[in-house]
Structure formats: structure tokens, C-alpha cells
């Protein structure tokens, strides 16, 4: 288990840092990036017990950079946002004006083109709860993240009067906020994954630097190369840059320490600059490397699919209809990774993506690498779930897939400081060289 020793934070003063609340926080990818950009986390709202356990493990109670300054008036536990608003509306009112940033991404399953895209999915209306929280806390800045499908119109009748949720969100925020939005691809900001997401930034009228709002995303691009160089990241890492040290043929295997009957990937050390950056000096093997238990016939099928996809040049895209037919597969969304490009968008279904060289699906850690989570970041809860439980639980694979890549979130966080007229934080401008000194291992 990894913990952070808050006593080694030197002269860092949380009181000088702008504050944020993370809504629909998941496992904490957005929070990690914001904290590393010099933001102070007040608290996080996440209803799933597994995701909240991951959040609490990596952001423990205390006064350190990675801790939340959880207000005593709100119980530190998993919260459904509707329940929080119902039971703590008065307590939340007391926090009005003390929150600099309200950040979050309402659950995206109902909007996603990769899913059933149901206009009546009750999760689609969670952005209403987000807006209610905005009206209570009156933050100086709002940040909303969602899938690209958030901007695509539904049938206005079937969706109870809201044809386009992104436009409806803008209309609701417009009286109080200057706004700018864009579809951002994570691989344009040093993340080895071609992940496209919608981001909306809003600055409260009468606050900060409204002149910087229209150029927000241009400013991110302008500062990107210097940021990545300072952190030791390559400009556009590939899937192999991210994962080659976790190839079984290189690292070998060992019994999984937490799952009897499973093997896990062993570890020999980084093989690329991206991997060095992900290690951050962490001196233990990465966790969450449990391998799937594929039957021999499944491994043979995967090997044939990988070989055929390479021969046909169909990498990072769904395998061909002919190949599915040859192997008796009904599943359409199966892709073989291209080792020389960023990976496709990872999903919560492990069998959506096959390794570029080995006949297997990816581990939680490999997906986390593609999301830019550092190797010390550990995940909690079940690895996977199925059936009716999929609507009720958020296991590790789903936690990783749903997260905002921390490396992208950090760059967003630095530019958000500029909206408030604050200088960009130099807390991590030289990389995270001080982090390993603050990492302790518990038996």
C-alpha cells in the first residue's frame, strides 16, 4: 500500500493555493492533475464505494499536497450527489464563496457513442445536480468534462426537451459565466492514448481574467512542449513507449499477490523515457498487473487475430468482418493495438483491446499507464464485474477507463490558474523529483 508522508512537504502552504471540489470524482485522475498544478482539494463527491476507496487510498487525510482539506461539516464517505444536496444543503451553503473551482464530469454512459446512447438514461440528468451545486457554491471557475457524444443532439422529444446537453449546459451557465469549450485529444498533450473528450471552462463574471477565457485551449497548446519537457515526458508517446517494460516476454510473471490462482506481470525496470516518468523514482514493482486467465484456445485465437490484423494493417481499429466471421465472433469492438501509435481510447471492458504483441488483453496497470497514472497510484475494489452488477459497481478497469488522464488534467489546472490571475505554479515544473522522498511503503 502506498501512502504519502505529508510531513515532507517543506514550505508548501495550502492556504496560498486556490481551492477546488471534485464532483463525480471517480478514482481521482482529475484531482491528481489539479493537485499537481498547485490546487488545494477541499473534498470530492463520488458515490461508488470501490472508486471512493481508491480515492481515499491515494489522497489520504492530512495536510500534504495530495490530501483533501475535508470540511468537518461534510462526512468523509461515498456520496451520491443528490443525497449530498438533500442532506447537506445548509452545510454546503456555508461553503459558498470559498470554492475557487468546481470540477467534474457527470457519468457519460448515456451520451457515449460507444454505448447504447439512451436519451432517457437517468444518468444524463446528473448534470442538473452539478448545476444545482454551482448555484449553491458559486465557484469562481467551473470545469466540466464529458465524452464527445455530450455535444451530439438527441431527439428532443425522447430526451424530455433537451436535444443537446452541451448547449443546454452553456445556456444555463451563460448568465453567470464567461465560457469556452473544445474537444481535446489526450494524445496531443503527452498521453499515449487517442482519447477525445469534451471540456467546458467557465469563469464567473466579475472574477479573474475574462480576457484569457477565449484563448484558454490555445494557451494550453502553447505551454505544452515546455511542460512535457520539464516533466521528462516525450511529446507523443506510443503504446509501446508506455507498455514495453510490462511485456511478459521481457518482465516475466509471478503469482498475483492479492488474487490466488492468477499470475501477475513481474518487473525489471523501465525501457523508455515515458516509463521513467511514470515510475517517478518509485522503487517497488507496479501493482495492479494481474493477468487474465485466458484458456489456451482463446490465446490461440488472440494470436491469430493479432497476426492477421498486422498483415492487413488494421491496427487500433475494429477487426474486420471477415476476421470476426473466421473466428465465430459477434463482438464488433475488438481492436489490436498499434505499438507505434498512441492507443485507442480504453474502455471499461478488458476484451475490447488486445495487446500489440502478446495474445492477451491488458492489465489494470497497463490501462493506467495509457491514462498517465503514475506507478505508485494504486486501485481498489474488484477487478471486473458483470451482469446486473455493472450498473451498480465501479471495479478497477472501469475506474481507470472513466478517469481524466492526470497528465492532461495537470496542464488544464495550470491554465485554470491563469484565469484567476495567478501565476502558473512551479510546484512540479522540474518534474516530480521530490515525490519519491514522500512515498512510504507500509507492510
Tell me the β-bridge partners of 148. none
Whole-angstrom CA distances from 55 to 17, 78, 359 are: 21, 10, 32
* C-beta of residue 175 within 8 angstroms of C-beta of residue 108: no
For residues 114 and 196, is the Cβ–Cβ distance under 8 A?
Answer: no
pLDDT, average across residues 399-411: 97
Count CB-CB contacts under 10 A for residue 218. Answer: 12
Mean local confidence (pLDDT), 277-291: 95
pLDDT number for residue 200: 95
Mean of pLDDT values over 258-286 = 95
Average of per-residue pLDDT across 98-117: 68
Q: What is the average pLDDT across 161-167?
A: 70
**Separation CA 264–CA 256 (nearest Å):** 5
Task: Tell me the chain's radius of gyration from C-alpha atoms.
Answer: 21
Residue 427 has pLDDT above 70, yes or no: no
Q: With 60 as the cut, is the pLDDT of residue 7 above it? A: no
CA distances from 262 to 161, 255, 290, 291, 301 (A): 49, 6, 7, 7, 21
* Confidence tier at 9 by pLDDT (50, 70, 90): very low
Mean pLDDT of 283-296: 96
Which range is least confidently modeled, 98-107, 151-160, 251-260, 302-311?
151-160
Place 54 in a pLDDT band, splitting at 50, 70 and 90. Answer: very high
Average pLDDT, whole number, for the chain? 87
Lowest mean pLDDT among 17-31, 119-133, 210-224, 242-256: 119-133
pLDDT of 5:
34
CB-CB contact of 253 with 265 (8 Å):
yes
pLDDT given for residue 112 in this prediction: 45
**Predicted local confidence at residue 318, as pLDDT:** 95
Q: Tell me which of 434 and 47 has the higher pLDDT.
A: 47
Instruction: Give the Cα separation of 189 and 223 in Å (integer).
Output: 10
pLDDT of 262 reads 97
Conformational region of residue 172, where left means phi above 0, alpha means psi within -120 to 50, and beta covers everything else: alpha
Q: Nearest to residue 351, comparing CAs of 305, 391, 416?
A: 305
297-324 average pLDDT score: 95
Mean pLDDT score, 137-143: 97
Among 27, 108, 256, 415, the one annotated catalytic:
108
Residues 6+ away with beta carbon under 8 Å from 206: none
260 contact partners, CB below 8 Å, separation of at least 6: none
pLDDT tens for residues 112-127?
A: 444 454 555 554 568 7
DSSP 8-state secondary structure symbol assigned to residue 232:
T
Pairing assessment for the beta strands 101-104 and 141-147 based on DSSP bridges: parallel
CB 81 within 8 A of CB 24: yes
pLDDT given for residue 166 in this prediction: 82
- 108 labelled catalytic: yes
Give the pLDDT of residue 4.
31
Does 226 have pLDDT greater than 80?
A: yes
Q: Quick one: what percent of the chain has pLDDT higher than 70?
A: 85
pLDDT at position 408 is 98
Banded pLDDT at 154 (limits 50, 70, 90): low
Q: Strand, coil or helix: what is 348?
A: coil
Question: What number is the average pLDDT over the span 218-235?
Answer: 95
Integer Cα distance of 297 and 357 in angstroms: 17
Average pLDDT over residues 242-257: 97
Angle at 124 between CA 182 and CA 147, to 5 degrees: 30
d(CA 126, CA 129): 5
Q: For domain 2-234+402-441, give the CATH number.
A: 3.40.50.150
Name the residue with higher pLDDT: 354 or 106: 354
| Crossing angle (nearest 10°) for helices 29-36 and 406-419 | 50
What pLDDT score does 65 carry? Answer: 83
Distance CA(205)–CA(178), nearest Å, equals: 6
> For 381, left (φ over 0), alpha (ψ -120 to 50), or beta?
left
Task: Say whether pLDDT at 437 is over 80.
Answer: no
* DSSP 3-state of 185: strand
> Which pLDDT does position 1 carry in this prediction?
32
Instruction: Provide the grid cell at 415.
Output: 491554465
Cell of 327: 473466428
Of the pLDDT bands very low, low, confident and very high (cuts 50, 70, 90), residue 39 is: very high
pLDDT at 75: 94
Domain boundaries, the chain: 2-234+402-441, 298-362
The pLDDT of residue 155: 52
Over residues 423-443, mean pLDDT: 39
Question: Quick check: 109 pLDDT over 80?
Answer: no
**Over the stretch 342-380, which tens digit does the pLDDT of each residue have?**
999 999 999 999 999 999 999 999 999 999 999 999 999
Amino acid at each position: 500500500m502506498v501512502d504519502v508522508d505529508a510531513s515532507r512537504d517543506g514550505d508548501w502552504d495550502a492556504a496560498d493555493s486556490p481551492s477546488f471540489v471534485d464532483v463525480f470524482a471517480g478514482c481521482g485522475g482529475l484531482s491528481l492533475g489539479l493537485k499537481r498544478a498547485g490546487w488545494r482539494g477541499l473534498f470530492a463527491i463520488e458515490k461508488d464505494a470501490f472508486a471512493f476507496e481508491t480515492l481515499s487510498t491515494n489522497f489520504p487525510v492530512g495536510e500534504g499536497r495530495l490530501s483533501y482539506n475535508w470540511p468537518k461539516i461534510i462526512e468523509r464517505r461515498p456520496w451520491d450527489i443528490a443525497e449530498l444536496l438533500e442532506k447537506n444543503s445548509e452545510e454546503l451553503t456555508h461553503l459558498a464563496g470559498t470554492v475557487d473551482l468546481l470540477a467534474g464530469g457527470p457519468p457519460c454512459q448515456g451520451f457515449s457513442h460507444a454505448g447504447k446512447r439512451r436519451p432517457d438514461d437517468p444518468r444524463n440528468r446528473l448534470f442538473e445536480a452539478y448545476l444545482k451545486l454551482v448555484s449553491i457554491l458559486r465557484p469562481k471557475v467551473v470545469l466540466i468534462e464529458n465524452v464527445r457524444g455530450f455535444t451530439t443532439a438527441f431527439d428532443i422529444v425522447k430526451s424530455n426537451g433537451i436535444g443537446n446537453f452541451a448547449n443546454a449546459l452553456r445556456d444555463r451557465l451563460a448568465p453567470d459565466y464567461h465560457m469556452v469549450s473544445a474537444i481535446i485529444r489526450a494524445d496531443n498533450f503527452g498521453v499515449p492514448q487517442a482519447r477525445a473528450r469534451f471540456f467546458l471552462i467557465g469563469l464567473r463574471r466579475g472574477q479573474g481574467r475574462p480576457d484569457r477565457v477565449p484563448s484558454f485551449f490555445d494557451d494550453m497548446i502553447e505551454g505544452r512542449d515546455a511542460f512535457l519537457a520539464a516533466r521528462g515526458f516525450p511529446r507523443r508517446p506510443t503504446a509501446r513507449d508506455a507498455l514495453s517494460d510490462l511485456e511478459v516476454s521481457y518482465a516475466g510473471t509471478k503469482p498475483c499477490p492479492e488474487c490466488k490462482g492468477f499470475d501477475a506481470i513481474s518487473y525489471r525496470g523501465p525501457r523508455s523515457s515515458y516509463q521513467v516518468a511514470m515510475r517517478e523514482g518509485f522503487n517497488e514493482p507496479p501493482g495492479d498487473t494481474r493477468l487474465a486467465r485466458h484458456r489456451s484456445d482463446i490465446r490461440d485465437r488472440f494470436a491469430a487475430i493479432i497476426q492477421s490484423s498486422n498483415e492487413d494493417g488494421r491496427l487500433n481499429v475494429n477487426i474486420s468482418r471477415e476476421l470476426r466471421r473466421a473466428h465465430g465472433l459477434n463482438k464488433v469492438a475488438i481492436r489490436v493495438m498499434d505499438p507505434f501509435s498512441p492507443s485507442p481510447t480504453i474502455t471499461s471492458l478488458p476484451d475490447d483491446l488486445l495487446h500489440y504483441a502478446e495474445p492477451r488483453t491488458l492489465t489494470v496497470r497497463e490501462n493506467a499507464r495509457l491514462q498517465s497514472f503514475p506507478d505508485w497510484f494504486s486501485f481498489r475494489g474488484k477487478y471486473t464485474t458483470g451482469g446486473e452488477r455493472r450498473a451498480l459497481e465501479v471495479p478497477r478497469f472501469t475506474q481507470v477507463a472513466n478517469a481524466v488522464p492526470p497528465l492532461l488534467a495537470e496542464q488544464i489546472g495550470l491554465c485554470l490558474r491563469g484565469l484567476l490571475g495567478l501565476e502558473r505554479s512551479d510546484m512540479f515544473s522540474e518534474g516530480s523529483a521530490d515525490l519519491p522522498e514522500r512515498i512510504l511503503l507500509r507492510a
